[in-house]
Amino acid sequence: MPPLSTLDRLLLETGELVPLEFLVREGFLTPEDCRAWREGVLDSLEARLGAAMGRAVERLTEVAAEALSLGMIPSRQIYRSSHAVSGESPLRFSRHGVASLEELLVTHYVPCPVEVALGQKNLFLDDPGTLLVNDLIAALVDHDLPRVENLLGRLREAIPDHAWLVAFARLGGAIADLQSLALDPSLALEVVRREIVPAAEMILGERSERFLRPFWRVLEGSLRGVPFDSTTPDLHGSWFLERLGDWQGVRQRVEAEERWEEKPELLLRLARASFRLGLAREGIRCWILLCWDFPIHAERVLEEEGGEADTTTRALWNRFQEADTEPELETALFPAWLLFSHPWLASLMSPRQREEESVAEGLFFQVAALLKSHATSPGSAESLRLRRELASCHRGLFACFLAHLGRSGQERPGGTRSA
């Protein structure tokens, strides 16, 4: 018997053709790529496909034709961010709107009801086991416990050695025990992460997000009023509200914490929530504080492929990394470097009342003062004094200032590469 094709396996397991899942099975993408895209970390999947995009389009075209030959019918699926707010535009697969790729990926193929009604046999779509599995998956996603238990019993009788029986039973048991999670949120989160999330993602795919929402909701409710603890940063309502896509709730929960600006996990959550709510200035302010006070934490997040940083900040960070200066610019100087292309950022910050100002914070205001003075009176004694001061404090940032002048045509930076 010849080996099953990717399409054969998808139809046996799910009864439908989801092109995005097909690309994962074929090795063009990884589940992590798709998750990062759905969460808004990646603005498209084009970069992940890279040079293989042409071949991916060919394979999708071939498998779509095969699905049609099996009597399946096309069904359009609009993809939105897993944290989408009302009215948010659909996600894009390609950065430049490659029409062929966009159309192929939004077109799913499902069993034709007419085929079933006429009793026409299809090796994959009419298989009793496949139909049971599909119904069971739908019941799990809906948290319909009586139906889950009934279908699980029927699947045990029909196919006692089915590879997913244990995972199905685990997910059904999780639904039954849902309300008890609130009794011990710490243990519950550990169990959900270790056992429930992997099983849900394996079996339910993209529908796992809908399945998991009630779990996050119960745990979030159990932690209302519980203060943030840096030793267990995820045991806080803001973490669960992120999973639920309640960005206004994240913002409120973070800002309700005493001295939240001194906690990097909360700063990062507020930054993400602010960008999601269209409050970019607030989000950037959080990133500035992160870089000043927690540069190691900020760098780890910004460097993490498919991680938690928003696409806007990550794009600016990538440009910052390309800056060729001597000495090299450290992470804490990222905000100061940003002033050369975004001088308005200076208006977001004011000197903090602290016993000792950090070097990076001081340089930020130094650069801001120099840019302001140069914009209003470039040849003044004050502007020249600020130039000398920056040159003596940090030659790398001074080189960036000269490059900034070179770009604006006011002075030649002497070959210094711009930031």
User: Band of the pLDDT at 172, cuts 50, 70, 90?
Assistant: very high
Output 96 or 131, whichever has higher pLDDT. 131
Integer angstrom CA distances of residue 87 from 49, 67, 95: 28, 32, 20
Rounded CA gap, 159 and 77, in Å?
Answer: 32
> Strand pairing partners for 17?
109
Q: Cβ(400)–Cβ(340) under 8 Å?
A: yes
Residue given tokens 């992460």 in the structure block: 193
Of 46-50, 144-148, 327-331, 410-414, the poorest mean pLDDT is in 410-414
Mean of pLDDT values over 157-168:
85
Burial of 322 per CB tally in 10 Å (0-12, 13-18, 19+) = exposed
pLDDT at 32: 85
Tokens of 138: 């739908």
Domain ranges of the chain: 1-124, 127-222, 337-348+357-419
| Cα torsion 382, 386, 391, 397: sign | negative
Whether 287 has a pLDDT exceeding 90, the answer reads yes
Per DSSP, the residues of 362-402 read HHHHHHHHHHHHHHH-TTSHHHHHHHHHHHHH-HHHHHHHH
For 4-16, write each residue's pLDDT tens digit.
788 888 887 777 8
pLDDT tens readout for residues 136-161: 989 999 999 999 999 999 989 988 88
d(CA 129, CA 12) in angstroms, rounded, equals: 9
The whole-model pTM stands at 0.68
Q: Is the dihedral of CA 375, 379, 381, 383 positive or negative?
A: positive
What distance in Å separates the CA atoms of residue 189 and residue 195, rounded to the nearest whole number? 10
